[in-house]
Amino acid sequence: MLELVLRIIVYGTVVSGIWALVASGFTLIFGVGRMLNFAHGSLFVLSAYFGIVLTKELGVNPYLSFIIAVLLVGVVGVGIYKVTISPIRHHEVMVIIVTLAIALLVEQILLLIFGDYGTSFPSLVKGIVRIGELPVPTKRIVSLIVAIITLILLEIFINKTKTGKSIMASAQDMEAATLMGINVEKVFMLTMFVSSVLAGVGGLLYSQIFSIKPEVAVKALIYAFAIVILGGLGSVRGSIVASFIVGYILITVTSLFGARWSEFTMLLTIIAILIVRPRGLFGVEE
Amino acid sequence: MMRLADRSLDINKMIVIAVAFVLAATIPFYVPDAFVYLIGLTFLFIILAVSWDVMVGYTGQVNLGHTVFVGIGAYTAALLQVPSRFQGSSLEFLTSMPQPPIFISIIAGGVAAAIIGLGIGIITLRLKGYYFALVTAVLPLVFMQTTFVWSGIFGGEEGFSIGLERVLAETVVGRFYAAFIIMVISLAIMLYVVNSSLGLKFKAIREDQEAAEAAGIDTVKYKLVAFIISSFFGGIAGAAMIHYRITVSPDVYGIPLMLLIILATVIGGLGTIYGSIIGGFLIYLAKYWWLREIIDKVMQAVHLPINDEVILYIILIIIGVAMPGGVYQEIKKRIKR
């Protein structure tokens, strides 16, 4: 029993760190541009496949692949924004529909290229650490550390740098930001880059621990939904806190009852939040 | 003046509708049976596209889980016809249910879907913003999971058959007409609704929710009404589809079907009903008649990771970005210039 609890805490913390990256990216672009990017999960999966192709097919060093894959996904994200979202930014319904179509398009293409098999990014480190009685693979610990560092960098970037402040200013009041001479279009592109990079780091860390399949994109997207609804749409800090709550709930349910209940759990969590506290923990104004 | 213009337009419209009606009703006389079967299914698909449009196009709330209602309608009808599926489950008492007539089981499919729609709507539609889209996006996956978790009842991946004696009509042509009648009745009701004062309220909500509220419209109530109507007809189409195909399987919940519905409506133009009818007709036939064959042939030659779904997604993205008002509106706008 004690081992189970320890297991839930340790493993839950690691997964939650990864989902925190994904969810904070998703909520960032929503908070800044009021855009729901349904292709966010695809960026998560794409970066994993970029990394896998770089290391396994092209023989690039894993650390270097990691960085290249993340940057590539950032560029893909900006591309998606520039080509498809930007022209219809004010047509909210269409943004949702088009990004959903992109998500399915990416999934189909990945399925056609790689097939419906699980594959993994090579472990960045080997070995096992013991926490109490519980053996924990070092790569999980490393994933958590990378996730935390990334989140701290995000926090510093948003609050301390001039560019980050211009992003936050646009999030609070786009018109005022425009009047202050901030190029909002540029801010959106930058936000999309940061948001995609966050998804990308999450995807690589995930595929280093678990196997990745094209359909994981949908799963990642759903977890991100649950997390941002709990954290409050648009709040980065809220989504970080919420990802740990959701992460622990998820890992408790799946380790007690099996993985097939994860979707149910997410839905019930979402519904419970919407009934009890619809604005989430730290929701921003619509 | 307005009235007069409206009326002359109405007469033109009536002629087009009458011609379309006659053309559709006489299809079995000049189309081979294999395609008659497909066109009948297309009619049921049109109900899906139009019912989705009633919610999304008219009230502006993006429902990404319409297939949930298709699936609920489908499984409700199927289980009503084959109550023995409950054997061995905690719902064993249901096995002794009498088999209802097909007509009742289709209506029951619609009612079951509408009840679920009401439940989801009450939770999500009272909230402003994007919660409705987020929650409805999750639903199909959850419901699809139910078919695997309780595979004893729902039949898992394979689904189950309701038996040939439970088909809408024995001949293909008979089934075609049954589907045609179901479509005509459903479309008539939905058209009536959106052209009534109810439809006006839906549109007011879409255009400006706050202004609608200021004008005294209970926006939550009317969004809910639209959603119930939409899910009811989603369920009707799902149930009718089961009696048309005789088999039910988890694909009725599937995302590919959802995308097809969206594509049909977006091509026709959101919030136009007639656009969804035309879009639904073209897209469903394209997908199941010739698109796959053509793509397969082309791809044998060039070896690219492309199949018919990829092409449909690309079309949807291009139309969504280039003509967010729908193809027809865009053409009309270009001509006027």
What are the tens digits of pLDDT across the range B51-98? 999 998 888 888 999 999 999 999 999 999 888 888 777 777 777 777
Q: What is the mean pLDDT of chain A?
A: 88
Least CB–CB distance from B324: residue in A88, A105, A266: A88
Average pLDDT on A97-104 reads 93
Q: What is the pTM of this model?
A: 0.89
For chain A, the structural domain boundaries read 2-276
Q: What is the assigned CATH class of domain A2-276?
A: mainly alpha
Average pLDDT on B222-245 reads 94
Percent of chain B with pLDDT over 70: 97
pLDDT digits (tens, 9 = 90+) for A3-39: 888 888 888 899 899 999 999 999 999 888 888 899 9
- Which residues in chain B touch residue A88, judged by CB atoms under 8 angstroms apart? 320-321, 324
Closest residue in A to B130 (Cα) is A36
Cβ–Cβ contact A102 with B under 8 A: yes
For chain B, the structural domain boundaries read 1-30, 31-254
Residue contact A98–B313, C-beta within 8 A: no
Closest residue in B to A221 (Cα) is B138
- Whether the per-residue pLDDT at B3 is higher than 60: the answer is no
- Whether the per-residue pLDDT at B192 is higher than 60: the answer is yes
pLDDT digits (tens, 9 = 90+) for A116-173: 888 888 888 888 888 777 888 888 888 899 999 999 999 898 888 888 888 888 888 8
Cβ–Cβ contact B323 with A under 8 A: no
Cβ–Cβ contact A173 with B under 8 A: no
- Which residues in chain A touch residue B327, judged by CB atoms under 8 angstroms apart? none
Percent of chain A with pLDDT over 90: 39
List the single best residue of A49, A95, A96 to mutate versus B (max B Cβ within 10 A).
Answer: A96
- Give the distance from residue B106's alpha carbon to the nearest chain A alpha carbon, in angstroms: 28
Residue contact A38–B135, C-beta within 8 A: no
Residue contact A222–B141, C-beta within 8 A: yes
- Whether the per-residue pLDDT at B156 is higher than 90: the answer is no
- Which residues in chain B touch residue A98, judged by CB atoms under 8 angstroms apart? 316-317, 320-321
- Which residues in chain A touch residue B143, judged by CB atoms under 8 angstroms apart? none
Confidence at residue A184, expressed as pLDDT on a 0 to 100 scale: 85
User: Which helix (H) or strand (E) covers residue B19, if one does?
Assistant: helix B2-25
pLDDT digits (tens, 9 = 90+) for A233-269: 878 888 899 999 988 988 888 888 887 888 788 888 8
- Whether the per-residue pLDDT at B295 is higher than 50: the answer is yes
- Give the distance from residue A52's alpha carbon to the nearest chain B alpha carbon, in angstroms: 18
Confidence at residue B9, expressed as pLDDT on a 0 to 100 scale: 62
- Whether the per-residue pLDDT at B115 is higher than 90: the answer is yes
- Which residues in chain A touch residue B254, judged by CB atoms under 8 angstroms apart? none
In angstroms, the CA A116 to CA A104 distance is 14
pLDDT band for position B7 (cuts 50, 70, 90) = low
- Which residues in chain B touch residue A102, judged by CB atoms under 8 angstroms apart? 313, 317
Residue contact B135–A271, C-beta within 8 A: yes
Average pLDDT on B149-168 reads 83
Confidence at residue B6, expressed as pLDDT on a 0 to 100 scale: 53
- Give the distance from residue B305's alpha carbon to the nearest chain A alpha carbon, in angstroms: 5
- Whether the per-residue pLDDT at B1 is higher than 70: the answer is no
What's the 3-state SS for chain A? CHHHHHHHHHHHHHHHHHHHHHHHHHHHHHHHHCCCCCCHHHHHHHHHHHHHHHHHHCCCCHHHHHHHHHHHHHHHHHHHHHHHHHHHCCCHHHHHHHHHHHHHHHHHHHHHHHCCCCECCCCCCCCEEEECCEEEEHHHHHHHHHHHHHHHHHHHHHHHCHHHHHHHHHHHCHHHHHHCCCCHHHHHHHHHHHHHHHHHHHHHHHHHHCCECCCHHHHHHHHHHHHHHHHCCCCHHHHHHHHHHHHHHHHHHHHHHCHHHHHHHHHHHHHHHHHHCCCCCCCCCC
Confidence at residue A138, expressed as pLDDT on a 0 to 100 scale: 86
Residue contact B133–A218, C-beta within 8 A: no
- Which residues in chain B touch residue A227, judged by CB atoms under 8 angstroms apart? none
Closest residue in B to A225 (Cα) is B134
Percent of chain B with pLDDT over 90: 36
Least CB–CB distance from A260: residue in B60, B123, B148: B148
